[in-house]
Chains A and B, each alone.
Chain A
Amino acid sequence: MSETTESLTIRKVKEKFPDDVVSSSSWRGDDALVIKKEALIAIATFLKTDPELDFNFLVDLSGVDYLTHPKPQPERFAVAYHFLSMAKKQRVRLKVYVGLADNQVDTLIGLWKSADWMEREVFDQYGIKFKGHPNLKRILNHIAFVGHPLRKDYPIKKRQLLTQSDTLMDEMKKRLEAKGLTTTGR
């Protein structure tokens, strides 16, 4: 895509972070940036705080496993973030690639609380870890589940019989401590 038709969002992020933007595209009108994962928090903060961009809303956060994708990709996994600017009526997608060995991405929980459960879901389904997440625990699958079901090498017909229920006391303790309480209420 030529320079002149680049959207404002892509242009501004590229100007501000020339070394961290790997590539950009606007296929079917979806502004998308592939960025280095180290720069995620910096770019997300820029998107949120820059008055001209004003991406105040984290819409979606999801993982993709490119294991069987016909087109070669930089790494096996990707995490895609969708931001929305309500004032400017713009959307943008940030994508970071993550490998199987070094599968850590910084958490966005400090910027948006919606990242909490969505990051837990990506962890649950793909095994991608979010550095700094206070409660990185499975969310949709059972706590004793083995493996990560949305990975392409997880067989779709595989079954696991799991019966242990979650007391949720680990989460409750953290929650109470954050409020200055203990389990006895004192």
Chain B
Amino acid sequence: MSIPPGKLLETPLDQELEQEFYRDLHTDLMFLNLGPSHPAAHGTLRTFVALDGETIKAAVAEIGYLHRGFEKTVEHRTWNQVIPYTDRLNYCSAALNNFAFCKVVERMLGIEITPRAAAIRVIVGELMRIVDHLVCIGTNLVDMGALTNFWYTFNKRELVYDVLDKLCGARLTNSYGRIGGLYRDFYDGAVPDILHCVKECEDAFNEVEALIKKNRIFIDRTKDVCRFSAEQALSYGFTGPCLRASGVEWDLRKAFPYWGYDQYDFEIPVGTTGDTWDRIMIRFYEARESAKIIRQAIKSLPGGPICVDDKRIALPEKANTYQNIEGLINHFKLIFEGVRVPEGDCYDAIEAANGELGFYVTSDGSGFPYRVRVRPPCFLIFSGFPEMVEGSMISDAVATLGSINIIAGELDR
């Protein structure tokens, strides 16, 4: 006689006999910490679970292991000094965080960035999205024992980092955005480099997809595992791939187009069931759409300056700073006193790799932000994690944790 897994405790086979049997057998719930330091808990996340056998009956999560007081720190920095701190939020796609912060400040200043800056932000931003998805898929598959895919994805990620290295001098924490534009223009030969690494990344996605899509182990471990319905996802504040995997077609690039996203032709992939399979697969499709956007943006890349022409906002050219007293004073004033942002508060967000990355900024009119609140997508996604994994097995929880792509840097700030 076969017993469905997990039902053993609730339905003893033979009442009289079974009770005798269980009295001697230790059948209490077992409590177990998954994390905070565990290779399968990406970063320092702790999930405390009550187990019946290998089935998770109840789960609670504890975060804050990487809390470093981002929001407190930046209240004591000038507006431009905040940018390197934003790199450390989602460090897998650092430039997107820079751009998100710059976007809200630009709105408070009431300025429009130049068309070239907007197009470059789109190109670099989509590259970051591709990298983020490569990392997510690669590490997620490692958690399921498919180490090969990790090399496939991380090799190609290196190519993107080489381009970013040439572009801004940093691989991981780019600080590429500036209020009013960008740190640097493309170097000579950036366009072919980018097109090359986009092609290579697409190959990686194709190879990895071919490796896993019909893999029995992968299918068994992800199909119908840890489903999250659209209602649940909306109630928990899910955004990005995790929300779309549950079947909600929502993307800020389409809903509130910024930086000219409305000019580009791309689709929003949507899942159906919101299981782990959908959450992983949607990233493949999204990355391909990103590649499409990059090619279009490169094709129509406008010329012109990369920063707004406003001496109160953008730093002068280095040559000007070093050879001209006005340029030096301009530089000095901006560095020491900061950009003056008008008094008021504003919320703005972009579609980051993990979902809606929002900044709610309050300014008192000085060169320092009065309050910067980050709305990280991971924070809300992880708040739904306990509910997501309850009723599943431990091994499913591991695969699911990878699929929701929690980045401790932006989770704990």
**Known contacts being A168-B48, A183-B29, is A113 close to B344, with CB within 8 Å?**
no
Tell yes or no: B50 within 8 A of A by CB.
yes
Q: Indicate if the CB atoms of B64 and A139 lie closer than 8 Å.
A: yes
Question: Which A residues are in CB contact (< 8 Å) with B52?
Answer: 185
Q: Indicate if the CB atoms of A116 and B358 lie closer than 8 Å.
A: no
**Known contacts being A60-B360, A80-B345, A86-B250, is A141 close to B236, with CB within 8 Å?**
no
Tell yes or no: B234 within 8 A of A by CB.
yes
**Known contacts being A64-B362, A112-B237, A166-B62, is A156 close to B72, with CB within 8 Å?**
yes
Q: Indicate if the CB atoms of A172 and B31 lie closer than 8 Å.
A: yes
Could you tell me which residues of chain A, from 37 to 76, have a CB within 8 Å of some CB in chain B? 56-60, 62, 64-65, 69-71
A82's closest neighbor in chain B, by CB?
A: B347
Min CB distance A34 to B, Å, is: 11
Question: Which A residues are in CB contact (< 8 Å) with B59?
Answer: 175
Compute the total of residue contacts between A and B using a CB distance below 8 Å: 143
Q: Indicate if the CB atoms of A82 and B58 lie closer than 8 Å.
A: no
Q: Indicate if the CB atoms of B28 and A57 lie closer than 8 Å.
A: no
Min CB distance A117 to B, Å, is: 4
Could you tell me which residues of chain A, from 11 to 53, have a CB within 8 Å of some CB in chain B? 27-30, 32
- Docked Cα-Cα span, A58 to B234, in Å, equals 9
Tell yes or no: B371 within 8 A of A by CB.
yes
Q: Indicate if the CB atoms of A70 and B364 lie closer than 8 Å.
A: yes
**Known contacts being A114-B236, A117-B383, A140-B412, is A28 close to B108, with CB within 8 Å?**
yes
Tell yes or no: B365 within 8 A of A by CB.
yes
Min CB distance B263 to A, Å, is: 18
Q: Indicate if the CB atoms of A60 and B383 lie closer than 8 Å.
A: no
Question: Of B58, B59, B67, B73, which is in contact with the most chain A CB atoms at under 10 Å from its CB?
Answer: B58
Question: Which B residues are in CB contact (< 8 Å) with A10?
Answer: none
Min CB distance A176 to B, Å, is: 5
Tell yes or no: A2 within 8 A of B by CB.
no
Question: Which B residues are in CB contact (< 8 Å) with A30?
Answer: 345-347
Q: Indicate if the CB atoms of A82 and B360 lie closer than 8 Å.
A: yes
Tell yes or no: B259 within 8 A of A by CB.
no
Q: Indicate if the CB atoms of B237 and A156 lie closer than 8 Å.
A: no
B31's closest neighbor in chain A, by CB?
A: A172
> Of B67, B107, B380, which contacts A141 at CB under 8 A?
B67
Question: Which A residues are in CB contact (< 8 Å) with B76?
Answer: 156
Total residues of chain B contacting the partner, CB 8 A? 59
Q: Indicate if the CB atoms of B237 and A28 lie closer than 8 Å.
A: no
Question: Which A residues are in CB contact (< 8 Å) with B345?
Answer: 27, 30, 32, 64, 80
Tell yes or no: A4 within 8 A of B by CB.
no
Tell yes or no: A106 within 8 A of B by CB.
no
Question: Which A residues are in CB contact (< 8 Å) with B110?
Answer: 28
Q: Indicate if the CB atoms of A27 and B346 lie closer than 8 Å.
A: yes
- Docked Cα-Cα span, A175 to B49, in Å, equals 10
- Docked Cα-Cα span, A62 to B237, in Å, equals 14
**Known contacts being A59-B237, A64-B371, is A89 close to B364, with CB within 8 Å?**
no
Q: Indicate if the CB atoms of A176 and B57 lie closer than 8 Å.
A: yes
**Known contacts being A168-B60, A185-B9, is A60 close to B413, with CB within 8 Å?**
no
Tell yes or no: A163 within 8 A of B by CB.
no
Q: Indicate if the CB atoms of A58 and B237 lie closer than 8 Å.
A: yes
Question: Which B residues are in CB contact (< 8 Å) with A181?
Answer: 29, 50, 57-58
Please encode chain B, from 57 to 92, with 1 for each CB lying within 8 Å of some chain A CB and 0 for all others: 111101110010101110110000000000000000
Please encode chain A, from 65 to 107, with 1 for each CB lying within 8 Å of some chain B CB and 0 for all others: 1000111000000001010001001010100000000000000
- Docked Cα-Cα span, A128 to B349, in Å, equals 25
Min CB distance A23 to B, Å, is: 13
Q: Indicate if the CB atoms of B371 and A185 lie closer than 8 Å.
A: no
Q: Indicate if the CB atoms of B236 and A172 lie closer than 8 Å.
A: no
B47's closest neighbor in chain A, by CB?
A: A168
Min CB distance B379 to A, Å, is: 6
A172's closest neighbor in chain B, by CB?
A: B60
Question: Which A residues are in CB contact (< 8 Å) with B58?
Answer: 172, 175-176, 179, 181
Question: Which A residues are in CB contact (< 8 Å) with B48?
Answer: 168, 171-172
**Known contacts being A28-B108, A89-B256, is A114 close to B235, with CB within 8 Å?**
yes
Min CB distance B248 to A, Å, is: 8
**Known contacts being A60-B373, A184-B29, A185-B9, is A113 close to B73, with CB within 8 Å?**
no
B384's closest neighbor in chain A, by CB?
A: A113
Q: Indicate if the CB atoms of B67 and A71 lie closer than 8 Å.
A: no
22 A-B pairs with C-beta separation under 8 A: A27-B345, A57-B234, A59-B356, A59-B375, A64-B345, A64-B373, A70-B364, A71-B364, A82-B358, A91-B347, A114-B237, A138-B64, A149-B69, A150-B71, A154-B72, A168-B62, A169-B31, A172-B50, A175-B50, A183-B28, A183-B29, A184-B29
Binding site for B on A (CB under 8 A): 27-30, 32, 56-60, 62, 64-65, 69-71, 80, 82, 86, 89, 91, 93, 112-114, 116-118, 121, 125, 138-142, 149-150, 154, 156, 166, 168-169, 171-172, 175-176, 179, 181, 183-185
Other than the known A114-B380, A156-B72, A181-B29, what 20 A-B pairs have Cβ atoms closer than 8 Å?
A: A27-B344, A27-B346, A30-B347, A69-B370, A114-B383, A118-B380, A139-B63, A139-B64, A156-B69, A156-B73, A156-B76, A168-B48, A175-B386, A176-B29, A179-B57, A179-B390, A181-B58, A183-B50, A185-B50, A185-B57
